[in-house]
């Protein structure tokens, strides 16, 4: 019985540590992941609609971005989305991108 408690306590402590790390994410990290997920979803929507990568990049050039890094990041996300063979729906891609991005941010800390 005593041997059973040690793994259970270890799992509980590991779960607590992951939760503590998730709370440490800054608002800017959450914003960046959310913004990137929206960009990827929009690119996927355009891709599934048959819009060419060239046209999608031209469309991005017309957008006004609030931060200087956003334009190049949007270009990169759009190119990666077009290069990917996935046919996921844009909403599913948004969720997946956001979850993976947050997981990456937590792992970096």
**Which tens digit of pLDDT belongs to each residue from 26-82?**
999 999 999 999 999 999 999 999 999 999 999 999 999 999 999 999 999 999 999
Residue 24 has a pLDDT of 78
Query: Does position 90 have pLDDT exceeding 50, yes or no?
Result: yes
Tokens 């979803």 correspond to 41
CA dihedral of 76, 78, 80, 81, whole degrees rounded to 10: 160
> 89 near 40, Cβ under 8 Å?
no
SS3 content of the chain, % helix, strand, coil (to 5): 80, 0, 20
Q: Output the pTM of the full model.
A: 0.75
12 pLDDT band, cuts 50/70/90, is: low
Pick from 37, 26, 44: nearest CA to 101: 37
Question: In angstroms, rounded to a whole number, what is the distance separating the alpha carbons of residues 97 and 76?
Answer: 14
Higher local confidence (pLDDT), 6 or 108: 108
Cα gap 75→30, rounded to integer Å: 20
Query: Residue 50, by phi and psi: left (phi above 0), alpha (psi -120 to 50) or beta?
Result: left
Q: Give residue 109's pLDDT band: very low, low, confident or very high (50, 70, 90).
A: confident
For residue 45, the number of C-alpha atoms closer than 13 Å in the C-beta half-sphere is: 10
């Amino acid at each position: 019985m005593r041997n059973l408690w040690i793994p259970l306590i270890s799992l509980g402590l590991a779960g607590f540590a992951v939760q503590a790390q998730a709370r440490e994410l800054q608002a800017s990290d959450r914003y960046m992941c959310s913004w990137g997920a929206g960009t990827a979803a929009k690119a996927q929507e355009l891709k599934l609609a048959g819009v060419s990568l060239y046209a999608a990049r031209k469309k991005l050039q017309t957008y006004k971005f609030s931060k200087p890094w956003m334009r190049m990041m949007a270009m990169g996300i759009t190119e990666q989305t077009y290069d990917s063979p996935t046919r996921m729906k844009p909403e599913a891609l948004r969720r997946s991108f956001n979850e993976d991005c947050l997981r990456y941010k937590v792992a970096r800390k």
